[in-house]
């Protein structure tokens, strides 16, 4: 039996300004934009699970994805990466090329591959930095610190597709504050609606597992922290049923998303718990898991330690922290140049949803069962995403081949 190869070297230093710029949040109105096309129709992930089809949603089946050949599954399951730049170093030695170059070549001029390319050297650096943090020894025994080659390829295919090749994604954006739009500004996040001409419903973020604005407006914890913000004096303790609904009162209240104009509303779950990071972490339930991570953190990130001190576990439950936290808090945490929170979000999602590890059995990998690539994709990006993901993984595997050292 072929033994596993542990590939260990140190990552090169990546300029902090480059990482910070790449991970910065994009909340200003000039960069705000939300597409009314369900991501399932464009081959992207619905990480938040907010798009619900009417019937089949108009999806035209592309046929079953290619199977990953047994030779690939057997070999790639035995090649294990346990530190950041190891894939790059490994492929440079084995193939005289870099992994990003190989992926870019695999997708170039091949629409069947449906692969996004690494956009530039900044994306390659961010990729290396992400895996350096991912594979660092954690203080949580259930968290993975290594990936085999097939798992690595699968994650890469997700991240490249969902970031357009940049390996960076900030906070979920919303519509421009144009009153001519049906869902201007932040009302896009609050509203439940069916886009014109689409057989889909987009669900509201002002709904479980988030707390509604109406629930928060009468919360003592929420008001002690946020009632002095703009619109707080008017809205705190409000019992207007609209704030428990799924249609934002855009004729009565601003939709700009500007803290100076509507900070009290923006402290609510529908806004502050929108998607962030590489897998667009969404909903109070997922942010609550990150709060627990922060409150029990034993690493060396000054930023995470600052918030551990701000939200001590002996004074606040994780649910209370979710209530008192702000949009600015989460923007800052997800913009950490050390990437502690973006990486933790990816790991927590995998642990909670059970899509890792991938099986080393060829028949399972190509099925829809637990341990398959389709199950990985569907649990991460929504039903139907896994089939597209396996297609992307197949073409990267095909480019790599099996003439690799173990």
Tally of structural domains, the chain: 2
Residues 160 and 206 in one domain: no
Query: Taking a C-beta distance cutoff of 8 angstroms, is the pair 389, 154 a contact?
Result: yes
Is a pLDDT exceeding 60 seen at residue 14? no
Is residue 334, in this structure, part of any structural domain at all? no
3-state secondary structure of 276: strand
Angle between the N-to-C axes of helices 373-381 and 385-400, in degrees from 0 to 180, rounded to the nearest 10: 130
Angle between the N-to-C axes of helices 99-107 and 149-163, in degrees from 0 to 180, rounded to the nearest 10: 60
Residues 157 and 73 in one domain: yes
**Domain closes at, from 272, 302, 317:** 272
**Domain closes at, from 212, 244, 272:** 272
Q: Measured in Å, how far apart are the chain's first and last C-alpha atoms?
A: 11
Average pLDDT of span 88-105:
84
Q: Is 115 left (phi over 0), alpha (psi -120 to 50) or beta?
A: beta
pLDDT tens digits for 300-341?
899 999 999 999 999 999 999 999 999 999 999 999 888 999
Residues 152 and 252 in one domain: no
Residues 68 and 144 in one domain: yes
Is residue 339, in this structure, part of any structural domain at all? no
Average pLDDT of span 30-39:
61
Is a pLDDT exceeding 90 seen at residue 97? no
Question: What pLDDT does 26 receive?
Answer: 40
Is residue 74, in this structure, part of any structural domain at all? yes
Question: What pLDDT does 60 receive?
Answer: 52
Is residue 292, in this structure, part of any structural domain at all? no
Residues 15 and 147 in one domain: yes
User: What range defines the domain where residue 198 resides?
Assistant: 187-272
% of the chain at pLDDT higher than 90: 70
| CA pair distance 344, 18, nearest whole angstrom | 21
Is residue 346, in this structure, part of any structural domain at all? no
Is residue 222, in this structure, part of any structural domain at all? yes
Residue 290 burial class via C-beta count within 10 angstroms: exposed 0-12, middle 13-18, buried 19 and up = buried
Residues 146 and 203 in one domain: no
Residues 203 and 167 in one domain: no
How far is residue 171 from each of residues 148, 272, 324, measured CA to CA in Å? 30, 9, 19
Instruction: Supply the pTM of this predicted model.
Output: 0.88
With a CB cutoff of 8 Å and minimum separation 6, the contacts of 125 are 14, 18, 19
Is a pLDDT exceeding 50 seen at residue 20? no
**Domain closes at, from 224, 256, 272:** 272
Residue 292 burial class via C-beta count within 10 angstroms: exposed 0-12, middle 13-18, buried 19 and up = middle
Is residue 85, in this structure, part of any structural domain at all? yes
Residues 9 and 58 in one domain: yes
pLDDT tens digits for 116-128?
999 999 999 999 8
Helices (H) and strands (E) counted in the chain, each on its own, are 20, 5
Residues 12 and 139 in one domain: yes
According to DSSP, residue 67 is labeled: P
Residues 19 and 96 in one domain: yes
Residues 9 and 147 in one domain: yes
Is residue 55, in this structure, part of any structural domain at all? yes
Q: Which of 2-11, 24-33, 308-317 has the lowest mean pLDDT?
A: 2-11
């Amino acid at each position: 039996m072929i033994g596993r190869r542990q590939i260990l070297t140190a990552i090169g230093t990546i300029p902090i300004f480059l990482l910070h710029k790449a991970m910065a949040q994009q909340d200003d109105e000039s960069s705000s934009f939300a597409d009314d096309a369900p991501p399932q129709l464009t081959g992207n992930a619905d990480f938040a699970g907010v798009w619900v089809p009417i019937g089949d949603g108009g999806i035209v089946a592309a046929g079953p994805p290619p199977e990953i050949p047994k030779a690939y599954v057997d070999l790639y399951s035995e090649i294990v990466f346990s530190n950041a730049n190891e894939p790059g170093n490994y492929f440079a030695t084995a193939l005289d090329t870099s992994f990003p170059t190989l992926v870019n070549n695999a997708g170039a001029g091949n629409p069947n591959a449906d692969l996004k390319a690494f956009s530039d050297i900044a994306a390659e650096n961010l990729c290396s930095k992400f895996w350096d943090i991912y594979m660092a020894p954690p203080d949580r025994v259930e968290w993975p610190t290594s990936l085999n080659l097939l798992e690595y390829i699968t994650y890469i295919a997700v991240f490249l597709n969902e970031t357009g090749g940049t390996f960076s994604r900030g906070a979920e954006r919303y519509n421009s504050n144009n009153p001519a739009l049906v869902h201007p500004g932040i009302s896009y996040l609050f509203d439940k609606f069916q886009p014109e001409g689409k057989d889909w419903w987009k669900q509201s973020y002002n709904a479980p597992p988030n707390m509604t604005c109406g629930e928060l407006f009468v919360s003592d914890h929420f008001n002690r922290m946020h009632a002095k913000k703009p619109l707080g004096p008017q809205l705190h303790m409000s019992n207007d049923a609209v704030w428990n609904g799924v249609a934002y009162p855009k004729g009565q209240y601003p939709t700009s998303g500007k803290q100076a104009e509507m900070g009290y509303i923006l402290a609510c779950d529908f806004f502050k718990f929108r998607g962030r990071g590489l897998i667009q972490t969404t909903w109070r339930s997922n942010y609550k898991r990150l709060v627990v991570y922060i409150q029990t953190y034993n690493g060396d990130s000054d930023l995470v330690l600052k918030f551990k001190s701000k939200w001590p576990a002996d004074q606040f439950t994780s649910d209370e922290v979710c209530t008192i936290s702000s949009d600015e808090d989460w923007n800052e945490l997800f913009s950490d140049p050390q990437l502690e929170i973006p990486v933790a979000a990816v790991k927590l999602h995998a642990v909670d949803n059970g899509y890792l590890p991938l099986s080393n059995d060829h028949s399972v990998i190509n099925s829809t069962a637990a341990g398959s690539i389709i199950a990985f994709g569907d649990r991460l990006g929504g039903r139907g995403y896994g089939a597209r993901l396996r297609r992307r993984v197949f073409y990267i595997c095909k480019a790599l081949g099996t003439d690799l050292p173990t």
